[in-house]
Chain A
């Protein structure tokens, strides 16, 4: 399903992550599921619409684009990451009082210390890109979990691709 992805912040209208992933070059081959509960502060999304401006609203609006993915040992922001971060930036600028934490993660196929530093580098790459789109960097913090918080539990390429990620979590 060929979809042209234009670089930069103007891609805000290409919203569906499913569409994006079908032609992803560096995103996981298997579409990562929408991340489950990542922090205790995240309220479950029920049938009722989430409160606008809440973390639940952010998760619902992003429909998967609260997370960006990386290649092994890499931390660069590719075109698909740019699209997701642009969507995040749009939401963050709609709610200028909200702060956010970007969690950096790695797969299990790295050594512990290095992965902590690599997760920090990935989170910072996402933070810097959001800042370049106009989000005040003072609203953004980073935290690295290295390989300590996998979201996919397997020990295979598909699982590792889902675990090499940076997740933006807004603070309610």
Chain B
């Protein structure tokens, strides 16, 4: 076996994740692969035309969707029972290949074929594809893999990407995962294929915190909930007796910041996912809103109203003294750190209406960056640093992006009310929630930076306030 597996001390997470990259670094790439699929961010981040409108910099990703990408059923050496929810090792193999195909298809990235309707490679063929067969089927890129039960209760998954025309292996990786984490192997394999073909950073192996909504508009029950990036492993964290709002996953997924009316008035809590216990972020009789993490998880931003005037504060995540960052009459609220943690983008109505401002992480150097007309709110800095996503309100609420220096406005959605963008870990996709006029029913959606690939996320009930966490290690 070519794929190496390292022992790991990680507890219930991936026990070993060893992308084998050194061996394939010298291999030639096909013309399709050397052509970046999304050159959008590079353009919009660097160009200096300040016209603020749609420009020709949005690349067309149809070329990517036209790649003949085949995802075959993952084989197993011996079909043995596992302790996963998917069943035997052969069943896990079938499920994993379906998850991979679903990931790549649902995000509008590719139009893969398989695993249904494709030849099923044998275990021996996983590392040695039957190239002539795939050439005849006009397959350009081929994903194969295997699942083995063991060691112990774990399962071992190998993932391979082949270039059929070049008859060459492009990438491979293997993971040993606990029985409760078998889906993560599928997400890791999806990430490997996506990254190798697009040149972008991975994002599938990540989780989303959000607010689950049930009940009528005037008595809506709002519960804190979490799920995988594809909607699997869904879990409610609060009962709904106290209204929960605006969650944010900590960068290490160990805890969630959110707002709760537990004590009757809105306050920010930090919910520990290991112990299922929570504590107030700051002890104050004043209401606190809009909690945010710094990228390194060491700081918490929050907003607090005193006498009706709201300002932004920061406090060490480990506790300690809060420091006020804004000091103007009006509402300064929210905030999102740049990826390097040096700057904060936030919203303020100091000019008379909600607009977007940038400041240094210590509160100095505050300046407005949104000059688009209407109101601009809920800014979120891209994990790549090149864009700021926000809600633009001119009549309807639309998800839009702009450059951190100002300008470069581009709309990504166009319905009655879309609100509160959150970035995929790789900064290529944005999730948000959409509210239906009248009923007020809310659902989670996502859109890529071209604005073309928009889809609704599956949630058991209504959903709002999504917060996308980073890629898991």
Q: Is the CB of A112 within 8 A of B309?
A: no
- Binary flags per residue of B331-343, CB closer than 8 Å to A gives 1, else 0: 1011000000000
Within 8 Å by CB of B334, from A108, A113, A122, lies A113
Once the chains bind, are A117 and B353 in contact (CB under 8 Å)?
Answer: no
The segment from B60-68, B139-147, B231-239, B433-441 found at the interface with A is B433-441
Check A144 against B354 for contact (C-beta < 8 Å).
no
**Would you give the shortest CB distance from B264 to chain A, in whole angstroms?**
7
CA distance A73 to B349 in the complex (A): 10
Closest-by-CB residue of A relative to B354 is A114
Interface contact tally, CB-CB below 8 A:
94
Question: Out of A109, A117, A150, A153, which one reaches B305, CB within 8 Å?
Answer: A117
- Verify if B377 is at the interface (C-beta below 8 Å from A): yes
CB atoms of A148 and B438 under 8 A apart: no
Complex CA gap A97/B388 in Å reads: 52
**Is the C-beta of B378 less than 8 angstroms from some C-beta in chain A?**
yes
Q: Is the CB of A112 within 8 A of B440?
A: no
Task: Please determine whether A150 and B217 come into contact, CB atoms closer than 8 angstroms.
Answer: yes
- Judge whether A73 and B310 touch: CB under 8 Å: no
Binding site of B, secondary structure by majority: helix, strand, loop or mixed?
Answer: strand
B103 contacts the other chain (CB 8 A): no
In the complex, whether B28 has a CB less than 8 A from a CB of chain A is no
- Contact-residue bracket for chain B: 35 or more
Known: A108-B435, A108-B440, A112-B246. A75 touches B308 (CB 8 A): yes
Contact A153 B217 (CB under 8 A): yes
CA distance A31 to B393 in the complex (A): 28
* Neighbouring B residues of A142 by C-beta, 8 Å: 308
Instruction: Let me know if A154 and B266 touch, CB within 8 A.
Output: no
Restricting to B216-240, which residues have a CB under 8 Å from any CB of A?
A: 216-218, 220, 222
CA distance A111 to B333 in the complex (A): 11
User: CB of A120 within 8 A of chain B?
Assistant: yes
Knowing A108-B440, A113-B289, A153-B218, the reply to whether A124 touches B420 (Cβ < 8 A) is: no
A143 CB-CB contact with B under 8 Å: yes
- In angstroms, Cα B305 to Cα A128, docked, is 15
In the complex, A12 has a CB within 8 A of chain B = no
Question: Which residues does chain A contribute within 8 Å of B354, judged by CB atoms?
Answer: 111, 114
The B178-217 residues at the A interface (CB cut-off 8 A) are: 216-217
Q: Which residues of A contact B266 (CB under 8 A)?
A: 116, 143-144
Assess whether A117 is in contact with B331, with CB atoms less than 8 Å apart: yes
B289 touches A117 (CB 8 A): yes
Contact call B333/A117, Cβ cutoff below 8 A: yes
Q: Using known A-B contacts A148-B220, A149-B218, determine if residue A143 contacts B308 with beta carbons closer than 8 Å.
A: no
B305 touches A111 (CB 8 A): no
Contacts of A4 in B (CB 8 A): none
Inter-subunit contact B308/A120 (CB<8 Å) = yes
- The smallest C-beta distance from A87 to any residue of chain B, in angstroms, reads 22
The yes or no answer to A118 lying at the interface (CB within 8 A) is: yes
- Identify A148's interface contact among B243, B347, B393, B420, CB under 8 A: B243
Are B437 and A155 in touch, CB under 8 angstroms? Answer: yes
Q: B287 to A116, Cβ gap below 8 A?
A: yes
* Interchain CA distance A124-B305 in the complex, whole Å: 10
**Residues in A whose Cβ lies below 8 Å from that of B305:** 117, 120-121, 124, 144
Specify which chain A residues have a CB less than 8 angstroms from the CB of B377 in the assembled complex. 111, 113-114
Is the CB–CB distance between A116 and B440 below 8 Å?
A: no
Would you list the 3 A-B pairs with minimal beta carbon distance, nearest first? A124-B308, A117-B310, A121-B308
Q: Name 19 interchain pairs, CB-CB below 8 A, sorted by A.
A: A75-B308, A108-B440, A109-B417, A111-B377, A112-B246, A113-B333, A113-B334, A116-B287, A117-B289, A117-B305, A120-B287, A120-B305, A124-B305, A128-B308, A143-B265, A151-B218, A153-B218, A154-B438, A155-B437
